[in-house]
Chain A
């Protein structure tokens, strides 16, 4: 069964720093991997979806990479802002399915 791990669990940085959030998964037979943002008490906002055939996706200041062979994905946030403060979740499907298994998340706090 797929297991998804995210490190660090929490991160506090000054505004303007470039960040790397890590996501590891145990089963590389995935169709895709998706990164989300969750604000306190809110639902999930999709940030980036990487298909299994892709190595990275970019949206604005966000870049996500996928290395299936090593079971890793990274989310890179450039020039962080206080508005980026949230919990970031990655999700990878259970083997051969589209059922997502979520990591425990990284709680990010960007200080002004």
Chain B
């Protein structure tokens, strides 16, 4: 149980375009999901907290107009990278928080390359 999926697993896009990444909790409901990014050989940095039915809260330094987050249902959160630039190239990972133990379950990640 407690499986989180992400789609796509990797994506290449041209500079200036937008890319949407989906995060789904497959066998449990998640009122809270988190989005992280990871640069090569670095640890994970929290970008934003996604709450079902309300606006996401962004960490300091993260541009909310660039990284649009939508959490429309208890099993789906999406991250849209708008007007992508090469510096947005990174590994994006989502997690969903279980309601009982507050353990976080992580997705397999999405590797974004902007050319």
Contact = CB atoms under 8 A, between A and B. Distances in A.
Contacts of A102: 36, 43-45
Interface in B87-114: 91, 93, 95, 97, 101-109, 111
Given A51-B101, A89-B43, A89-B44, A100 B106 contact: no
Main secondary structure of the interface of B (DSSP, over half): strand
A43 B103 contact: no
Contact of A98 (B45, B93, B97, B109): B97
A49 B103 contact: yes
B43 A34 contact: no
A41 B111 contact: yes
B18 to A, nearest CB: 23
A91 B95 CA distance: 13
A99 B33 CA distance: 10
Contacts, number: 54
A46 B104 contact: yes
Given A42-B109, A43-B93, A44-B93, A100 B42 contact: no
A65 to B, nearest CB: 17
Contacts of B36: 102
A46 B105 contact: yes
Given A34-B104, A91-B104, A100-B95, 7 more contacts: A41-B111, A44-B95, A45-B106, A49-B103, A98-B104, A101-B46, A104-B43
17 contacts: A34-B104, A41-B91, A41-B111, A42-B108, A43-B6, A44-B44, A46-B103, A46-B104, A46-B105, A91-B44, A98-B97, A98-B104, A99-B46, A101-B46, A102-B45, A104-B43, A105-B43
